[in-house]
Structure 1
């Protein structure tokens, strides 16, 4: 589909042996494998969906894989994020994932973006790839990925999971008439209103579900690249792990939802549902020791800071909104005070007023 008329890279003898089971498939010949080798796929999110997605794309022989994820590995991730082990706790997800898939297939080039995807960097990052596989778990990034794919003319292979259910589709696919197919906003033009969705971590997810849906997502990526089979264009595939049932819904819109500019979506939880992620001092020190990039902000008063501080940037709570330009949105931001109360208030303020994420409250106790 993507490389039909271009010169394709030759397979080495080692690659021909590695992908022998592909080459034995009906309709899957050397050219299909060469298309995979030529492909550049950006995976946004190296968590539950990203784990099987990255493993299977690397194993299949995708030539270049980009990984976007700013997060670190937490014990609660291990129930479903099969790329990681207890020895990886506190480490960068993106860097650890890259190490694993390089070990799985040394023929794959891996590019790591250890940053939060936002309106400032999304277009530039996505423009470097042929298609995007969206493995995010929040509405702001999901809409951002969709809109950036439309604006850069990239295919968006979408998947999402919640509790026992998963969804997969292929958006912004090039059509024979030169137009682009439907995008995520054809399905959900705007995020759900506050109060209609549960807290982003309280809903839970069956551990095996992202393995199933992430594998389906990888399957769609491979189909799109090789041109084999029929991708989920104009259709939404639904899977229910509890009842072991599936449905494929045809999307009825005739024209793609128009997108003319990139804008970041607000944080769509009610104020009472907004969460304040926290980290311990021990985790902070581990981040420092392994070189994990983050910004530390102290929201106390200057006299408190002068008596004792942790070396963070001083922005008193009352001056926070006047100093947003000083906050590094490319990396996690850790905010602290004396007791944790003012730092929690600062995070809630940035979530409610600015829709910002990737903020952590430092627990001093």
Structure 2
């Protein structure tokens, strides 16, 4: 998808980065991404995905903006309180980058709708920080052969990883179900949430996502990254796909909400 003259002006600085150029910027423009969750982690993810010129961003979030969450969701303003996140995020992002199409989706990701929502997307990014949603996304993406990214932030600790990432050799890539023991080790459900750790993690995730979308090899394939912001400890884990788990996931398909332990919320009345 060729860049217009206005887009060339708007993105002239990233285009000037060695190795990028107009060809890479055009790859970003051609990309279609679904981001699940527009809260503490999803906010910086969608802000920087939009700012870098992703062509289409679907924003799936049925929640509303609360005062106590503003410290980690700076995309919103006080005048937005109690309005829907997806709608306000779409409006704010268009105001800074009208070249990206931002689609607010006021829906809960659940077994009944997930296949339709991911069907036209090149990449799914799950920022829900909710295990049942992770499992629904995992199973739907495996069934529909879609790559996806999941991230979580717990106090000072964060992790993020790419799953089902295609490889040129046709080899299997790890799924979320293949490494749950590792991701569980990073969960800390103590009270509280830091704004800066969500923002920093979102930017690190987008850095890897952008490299993937412009075909920089290896960054998201079978790797899980973690960061302890309190002690400045960064780790990269190599993931191993489990063929038996992946085969079973494909055979089972998308399960029921009850099997995922997912509580279904009423549809949003807009």
Identify whether the pair has TM-score above 0.5, normalized to the shorter chain.
yes
Find the counterpart in structure 2 of residue 321 from structure 1.
none
Q: Select 1:128's aligned residue among 112, 120, 144.
A: 120
Q: Residues of 1 paired with 2:171 and 2:147: CA distance? A: 12
Find the counterpart in structure 2 of residue 164 from structure 1.
156
1:178: Cα distance to partner? 2.3
Q: Select 2:237's aligned residue among 237, 249, 268.
A: 249
Deviates more, 1:169-178 or 1:41-50: 169-178
Secondary structure of the equivalent of 1:208? Answer: helix
Deviates more, 1:245-254 or 1:39-48: 245-254
1:23: Cα distance to partner? 1.4
Q: Residues of 2 paired with 1:188 and 1:102: CA distance? A: 36
Q: Select 1:173's aligned residue among 155, 165, 173.
A: 165
TM-score (norm 1): 0.67
Q: Residues of 2 paired with 1:198 and 1:94: CA distance? A: 27
TM-score (norm 2): 0.90
Matched, 1:266 2:255: no
Change (3 A) 1:210 1:191: closer
Q: Select 2:18's aligned residue among 26, 30, 33.
A: 26
Q: Residues of 1 paired with 2:237 and 2:69: CA distance? A: 31
Report 1:72-221 matches (<5 A). Answer: 72-188=64-180, 203-221=191-209
1:252: Cα distance to partner? 3.4
Which structure shows the bigger proportion of residues in helix conformation? 2
CA deviation profile, 1:323-344 (whole Å, cap 9, x unmatched): xxxx974338xxxxxxxxxxxx
Asked if the contact 2:59/2:104 (under 8 Å) is kept, the reply is yes
Q: Structure 1 residue runs of 4+, over 6 Å off? A: 189-192
Secondary structure of the equivalent of 1:167? Answer: strand
Q: Residues of 1 paired with 2:175 and 2:39: CA distance? A: 23
Asked if the contact 2:35/2:126 (under 8 Å) is kept, the reply is yes
Change (3 A) 1:257 1:89: same
CA deviation profile, 1:285-340 (whole Å, cap 9, x unmatched): xxxxxxxxxxxxxxxxxxxxxxxxxxxxxxxxxxxxxxxxxx974338xxxxxxxx
Asked if the contact 1:223/1:230 (under 8 Å) is kept, the reply is no
Q: Residues of 1 paired with 2:152 and 2:242: CA distance? A: 24
Q: Residues of 1 paired with 2:196 and 2:4: CA distance? A: 35
Report 1:296-335 matches (<5 A). Answer: 329-331=266-268
Larger Rg: 1
CA deviation profile, 1:263-291 (whole Å, cap 9, x unmatched): 231159xxxxxxxxxxxxxxxxxxxxxxx
Asked if the contact 2:75/2:92 (under 8 Å) is kept, the reply is yes
Asked if the contact 2:72/2:198 (under 8 Å) is kept, the reply is yes
Matched, 1:225 2:225: no
Change (3 A) 1:222 1:180: same
Q: Residues of 2 paired with 1:155 and 1:161: CA distance? A: 21
Q: Residues of 1 paired with 2:144 and 2:268: CA distance? A: 24
- Please report the RMSD computed on the Cα atoms of aligned residues, expressed in angstroms: 2.3
Q: Residues of 2 paired with 1:128 and 1:164: CA distance? A: 35
Q: Residues of 2 paired with 1:119 and 1:191: CA distance? A: 22
Secondary structure of the equivalent of 1:65? Answer: strand
1:250: Cα distance to partner? 1.1
1:150: Cα distance to partner? 1.1
Structure 2: gaps spanning 5 or more residues = none
1:179: Cα distance to partner? 4.1
1:253: Cα distance to partner? 3.8
Asked if the contact 1:117/1:330 (under 8 Å) is kept, the reply is no
